[in-house]
């Protein structure tokens, strides 16, 4: 927006401002900084305005509750932006065709739909072109106000994508109950593994000042169906549960409530000692139990719809029930009992591995938890990372999925790209999420997908959930880059319905974020869809994993060795020597394969059947081992590293071809990041090739360029201030 102060005789500048403003409006690519996310509501093409106006121009929308008001305001904002003029709000659908929003209670005209709406639960909605009282109408109807808000966002998405509203008949019900972001935000504003600036939460000025961005955050989340947020880091500070910080959290909860978003907190297990002055946090100690009960009462007095606790216990140095010889179930149940009278849940993380256990790290969470199946209270969900190690570019699905039938298991994805190039690499995570959700656990025979475990349908669990470690900070783009917004977006859409296609979601996102023009959507979606595989290729192809630099995880570090624990080194994972490479997790190795259902285990254990993409995750094979491509392993490895770099170069060319179709500031920003990505992809390739060559002594396959520097150069690089490192 141009703002000029008029001075005497400054007519020229005013004239110039007018010309510029005009240019802004007629240019297909207005200058933007990404702050509006996918909710830009940019004008639809002139040929479409009239059609949409006849459907959306006259609106009947209740405004008695906060959620009704935000739905109505979102619709107003959307229509005004998309169609260039405000809709007319009217008291009833009498007269012209109208868009009618509401529930049978808030909008009596929708009474005929009451039975149909019953089946849509508390959050579902219906969008339908129909006749009300004999007049043409478009309805956005739900049982509850929040469903109407979700429906409004869906309707606006259709218009943003240029879809026809004729004959519209859509009904949507979320398949997953808890659709949550996990913020790894510390109270001092630092975001662990955050690449988008500082925390969005300004704890210092809360509760007095409610930054308008909190509202925009809630709008963005509601637009994709996210209904909860864990405000603080899993490596939690007990102070988050102190009265002062609870009041701050309550202020955020007040902002989020109209958008259907509940607040949750990460709880530090030893808080009764740190805050309560007790000398133990033993989950079976009566004083400890009482402390948590009282704490829960205090929280609910401030936040009546508080969602519950997320807990990282006995993992990476965090306190937990095992400090007192108790189990994870004892710990989870302690908190569950305190929250149960108020309707709260406990999300107990299964991300545990102990350094004193010489067992393959990939097996430890399963070993720890599988025997506890059935031992948790009804309001406990065990939160499991998508794979058994730690958010690597590619992992097999976690063997706990399907292995704890009596316990609801929640999925934990990472949206922030700790292991995928931080915010500068264009890596669309939709295909990664999709790959995991569609994986078949075979727990109850074929078709027992991870999605069905997570949405609760496989074992008929009432509780179900998906969490994503947020990539949000105070950067103007929210996510640290324009394309990382797509990962937040795709996460939310898949949490609503884990069976959706990552490609369809990308199409929607591009249409809303850049333009619905086919010559914009098609090339961008194509480059997004291959981008995750490209990152796997240039970082850790063929099932390699955990080869990043130590600590901050920025860049390659396949040589990382020594230090406090073996399973924080790279050599532990790749096990390369003169003869071969890979971690033998087959039946003759660590036997991690046997943690999967027999049908899955057989495939993974068999060198002839294991997919190439997971080969070195499960097998240690000679450098000469022939792959499905016909190439020997060493040749295939180098081929994939190079292929990954080439993909990034192709993305650069595609993006260059979009110049003029994307507004200049965003185009330049993405182009610059692609240059960084290209250099870093090369760095990953070259450093990895140089390192593995130093181990196997093999010549480079014909036609492959040698790394430009000796291995020692790559090993000497230091990045003491790389962002996001744990503290
Ligand atoms: C690892 C991160 C670390 C987290 C940990 C976790 O490096 O910062 O604390 O996961 O999920 O990937 O608890």
CATH of residue 388: 3.20.20.80
Name the average pLDDT for the chain: 95
Chain Cα centroid distance, residue 526: 21
Atom number of ligand 1 nearest to Cα 235 = 9
Kindly state if the Cβ of 193 falls inside 6 Å of ligand 1: yes
- Looking at the fold, whether 136 and 264 belong to one and the same domain comes out as no
63 by Cβ neighbours in 10 Å (0-12 / 13-18 / 19+) ranks as middle
* Chain segment 621-635, per-residue pLDDT in tens: 999 999 999 999 999
**Nearest partner of 438 among 476, 486, 386, judged by Cα:** 386
CA atoms within 13 A on the CB side of 217: 30
Determine contact, residues 230/180, Cβ cutoff 8 Å: yes
Kindly state if the Cβ of 726 falls inside 6 Å of ligand 1: yes
Q: Is residue 672 part of a domain?
A: yes
Atom number of ligand 1 nearest to Cα 233 = 9
The predicted pLDDT at position 353 comes to 87
Kindly state if the Cβ of 234 falls inside 6 Å of ligand 1: yes
27 C-alpha to center of ligand 1: Å?
Answer: 45
The predicted pLDDT at position 68 comes to 98
What residues contact residue 559 under an 8 Å CB cut-off, 6+ apart?
A: 570, 571, 691, 711, 715
Q: Is residue 592 part of a domain?
A: no
- Looking at the fold, whether 191 and 158 belong to one and the same domain comes out as no
Kindly state if the Cβ of 192 falls inside 6 Å of ligand 1: yes
The predicted pLDDT at position 656 comes to 98
- Looking at the fold, whether 647 and 633 belong to one and the same domain comes out as yes
| Backbone region of residue 121 per phi and psi (left: phi > 0; alpha: psi in -120 to 50; beta: other values) | left
Atom number of ligand 1 nearest to Cα 385 = 11
- Looking at the fold, whether 61 and 205 belong to one and the same domain comes out as no
The domain that holds 662 is classified in CATH as 3.90.1330.10
- Looking at the fold, whether 126 and 74 belong to one and the same domain comes out as yes
Determine contact, residues 193/227, Cβ cutoff 8 Å: no
- Looking at the fold, whether 152 and 196 belong to one and the same domain comes out as no
Kindly state if the Cβ of 554 falls inside 6 Å of ligand 1: no
Beta strands in 517-610, from DSSP E residues, in sequence order:
580-581
Determine contact, residues 331/375, Cβ cutoff 8 Å: no
The pick from 235, 386, 415 for probing ligand 1's pocket by mutation, whose C-beta has the most ligand atoms within 8 angstroms, reads 235
- Looking at the fold, whether 54 and 159 belong to one and the same domain comes out as yes
Domain that holds residue 705: 537-583+620-716
Atom number of ligand 1 nearest to Cα 312 = 13
The pick from 185, 193, 471, 560 for probing ligand 1's pocket by mutation, whose C-beta has the most ligand atoms within 8 angstroms, reads 193
Determine contact, residues 377/333, Cβ cutoff 8 Å: yes
Residue nearest (by alpha carbon) to ligand 1 atom 8: 726
Q: Is residue 28 part of a domain?
A: no
Stated pTM of the model: 0.96
Q: Hey, what's the torsion of the CAs at 320, 321, 322, 324, to 10 degrees?
A: 120
Kindly state if the Cβ of 201 falls inside 6 Å of ligand 1: no
- Looking at the fold, whether 508 and 559 belong to one and the same domain comes out as no
474 C-alpha to center of ligand 1: Å?
Answer: 21
Atom number of ligand 1 nearest to Cα 234 = 13
Catalytic center residues: 316, 390, 418
Kindly state if the Cβ of 351 falls inside 6 Å of ligand 1: yes
Give, as one character, the DSSP assignment of residue 43: P
Residue ranges of the chain whose pLDDT lies below 70: 1-31, 355, 727
Q: Is residue 351 part of a domain?
A: yes
The predicted pLDDT at position 29 comes to 56
The predicted pLDDT at position 2 comes to 30
Kindly state if the Cβ of 589 falls inside 6 Å of ligand 1: no
- Looking at the fold, whether 207 and 304 belong to one and the same domain comes out as yes
Kindly state if the Cβ of 312 falls inside 6 Å of ligand 1: yes
Name the phi and psi angles at 524, rounded to 5.
-70, -45
Kindly state if the Cβ of 680 falls inside 6 Å of ligand 1: no
Determine the Cα–Cα distance for residues 49 and 83; give it in Å rounded to an integer. 6
Q: Is residue 644 part of a domain?
A: yes
The predicted pLDDT at position 331 comes to 98
- Looking at the fold, whether 87 and 203 belong to one and the same domain comes out as no
412 C-alpha to center of ligand 1: Å?
Answer: 12
Determine the Cα–Cα distance for residues 32 and 131; give it in Å rounded to an integer. 40
Kindly state if the Cβ of 551 falls inside 6 Å of ligand 1: no
The predicted pLDDT at position 123 comes to 98
Q: Token pair for residue 183?
A: 């913020």
Determine contact, residues 294/300, Cβ cutoff 8 Å: no
* Chain segment 360-402, per-residue pLDDT in tens: 999 999 999 999 999 999 999 999 999 999 999 999 999 999 9
Residue nearest (by alpha carbon) to ligand 1 atom 11: 351
391 C-alpha to center of ligand 1: Å?
Answer: 9
Q: Is residue 521 part of a domain?
A: no
The pick from 311, 315, 726, 727 for probing ligand 1's pocket by mutation, whose C-beta has the most ligand atoms within 8 angstroms, reads 726
The predicted pLDDT at position 23 comes to 43
Q: Give the pairing of strands 178-182 and 465-469.
A: parallel
Atom number of ligand 1 nearest to Cα 412 = 11
Determine contact, residues 329/363, Cβ cutoff 8 Å: no
Atom number of ligand 1 nearest to Cα 390 = 12
Q: Which of 143, 172, 201 is the last residue of a domain?
A: 172
299 C-alpha to center of ligand 1: Å?
Answer: 27
Q: Is residue 607 part of a domain?
A: no
Q: Token pair for residue 634?
A: 């060493």
Q: Is residue 11 part of a domain?
A: no
The predicted pLDDT at position 132 comes to 86
Determine the Cα–Cα distance for residues 281 and 268; give it in Å rounded to an integer. 10
Kindly state if the Cβ of 623 falls inside 6 Å of ligand 1: no
Residue showing tokens 């593994």: 193
Kindly state if the Cβ of 419 falls inside 6 Å of ligand 1: no
Determine contact, residues 385/398, Cβ cutoff 8 Å: yes
DSSP string covering 352-407, please? ---TT--S-HHHHHHHHHGGGTT-S-TTEEEEEESSSSSS-SS-PPPTTTTT-TTS
475 C-alpha to center of ligand 1: Å?
Answer: 22
- Looking at the fold, whether 91 and 77 belong to one and the same domain comes out as yes
Q: Token pair for residue 137?
A: 């109408």
The domain that holds 76 is classified in CATH as 3.30.379.10
Determine contact, residues 427/465, Cβ cutoff 8 Å: no
Q: Which of 142, 172, 202 is the last residue of a domain?
A: 172
Structural domains in the chain (count)? 3
- Looking at the fold, whether 71 and 208 belong to one and the same domain comes out as no
The predicted pLDDT at position 727 comes to 61
**Nearest partner of 669 among 653, 655, 649, 683, judged by Cα:** 655
Determine contact, residues 610/618, Cβ cutoff 8 Å: yes
Determine contact, residues 528/430, Cβ cutoff 8 Å: yes
């Amino acid at each position: 927006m141009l703002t000029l102060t008029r001075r005497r005789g400054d007519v020229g500048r005013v004239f110039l401002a007018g010309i510029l403003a005009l240019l802004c409006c007629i240019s297909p690519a207005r200058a933007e900084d990404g702050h509006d996310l996918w909710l830009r509501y940019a004008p639809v093409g002139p040929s479409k305005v009239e059609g949409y106006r006849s459907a959306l121009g006259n609106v009947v929308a209740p405004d008695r509750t906060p959620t009704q008001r935000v739905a109505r305001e979102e619709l107003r904002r959307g229509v005004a932006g998309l169609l260039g003029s405000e809709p007319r709000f009217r008291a009833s659908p009498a007269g012209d065709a109208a868009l009618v929003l509401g529930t049978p209670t808030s909008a009596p005209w929708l009474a005929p739909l009451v039975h149909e709406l019953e089946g849509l639960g508390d959050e579902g909605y219906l969008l339908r072109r129909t006749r009300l009282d004999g007049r043409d109408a478009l309805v956005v109807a739900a049982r509850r106000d929040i469903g109407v808000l979700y429906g409004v966002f869906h309707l606006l998405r259709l218009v943003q994508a240029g879809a026809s509203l004729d004959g519209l008949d859509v009904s949507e019900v979320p398949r997953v109950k808890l659709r949550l972001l996990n913020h790894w935000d510390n109270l001092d504003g630092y975001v662990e593994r955050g690449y988008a600036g500082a925390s969005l939460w300004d704890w210092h000025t809360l509760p007095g000042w409610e930054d308008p961005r909190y509202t925009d955050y809630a709008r963005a989340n509601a637009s994709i169906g996210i209904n909860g947020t864990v405000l603080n880091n899993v490596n939690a500070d007990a102070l988050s549960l102190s009265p002062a910080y609870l009041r701050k959290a309550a202020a955020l909860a007040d902002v989020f409530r109209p958008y259907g978003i509940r607040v949750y907190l990460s709880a530090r297990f030893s808080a009764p000692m740190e805050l309560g002055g007790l000398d133990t946090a033993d989950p079976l100690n009566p004083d400890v139990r009482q402390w948590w009960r009282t704490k829960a009462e205090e929280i609910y007095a401030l936040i009546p719809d508080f969602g519950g606790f997320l807990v990282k216990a006995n993992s990476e140095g965090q306190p937990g029930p095992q400090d007192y010889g108790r189990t994870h179930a004892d710990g989870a149940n302690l908190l569950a009992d305190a929250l149960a009278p108020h309707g709260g849940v406990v999300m107990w993380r299964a991300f545990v591995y102990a350094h004193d256990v010489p067992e393959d790290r990939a097996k430890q969470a399963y070993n720890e938890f599988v025997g506890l199946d059935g031992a948790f209270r009804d309001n406990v969900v065990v939160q499991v990372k998508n794979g058994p190690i730690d958010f690597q570019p590619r992992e097999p699905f976690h063997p706990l999925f399907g292995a704890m039938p009596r316990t609801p298991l929640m999925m934990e994805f990472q949206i922030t790209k700790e292991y995928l190039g931080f915010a500068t690499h264009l890596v669309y995570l939709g295909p990664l999420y999709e790959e995991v959700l569609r994986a078949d656990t075979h727990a109850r025979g074929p078709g027992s997908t991870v999605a069905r475990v997570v949405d609760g349908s496989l074992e008929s669990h009432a509780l179900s959930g998906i969490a994503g470690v947020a990539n949000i900070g105070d950067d103007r783009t929210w996510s640290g880059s324009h394309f990382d917004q797509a990962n937040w977006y795709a996460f939310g859409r898949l949490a609503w319905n884990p069976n959706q296609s990552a490609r369809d979601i990308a199409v929607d996102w591009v249409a809303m974020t850049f333009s619905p023009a086919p010559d914009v959507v098609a090339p961008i979606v194509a480059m997004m869809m291959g981008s995750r595989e490209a990152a796997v290729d240039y970082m850790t192809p063929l099932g390699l994993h955990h080869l990043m630099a130590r600590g901050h995880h920025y860049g390659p570090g396949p040589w990382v060795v020594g230090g406090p624990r073996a399973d924080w080194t790279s050599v532990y994972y790749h096990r390369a020597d003169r003869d071969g490479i890979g971690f033998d997790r087959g039946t003759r190795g660590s036997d991690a394969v046997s943690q999967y259902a027999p049908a899955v285990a057989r495939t993974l254990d068999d060198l002839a059947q294991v997919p190439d993409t997971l080969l070195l995750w499960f097998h240690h094979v000679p450098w000469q081992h022939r792959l499905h491509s016909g190439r020997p392993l060493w040749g295939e490895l180098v081929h994939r590293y190079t292929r990954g770099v080439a993909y990034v170069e192709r993305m650069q060319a595609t993006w260059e071809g979009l110049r003029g179709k994307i507004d200049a500031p965003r185009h330049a920003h993405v182009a610059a990041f692609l240059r960084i990505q290209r250099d870093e992809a090369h760095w990953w390739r070259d450093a990895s090739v140089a390192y593995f060559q130093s181990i196997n002594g093999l010549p480079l396959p014909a036609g492959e360029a040698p790394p430009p520097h000796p291995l020692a150069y790559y090993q000497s690089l230091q990045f003491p201030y790389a962002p996001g490192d744990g503290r």
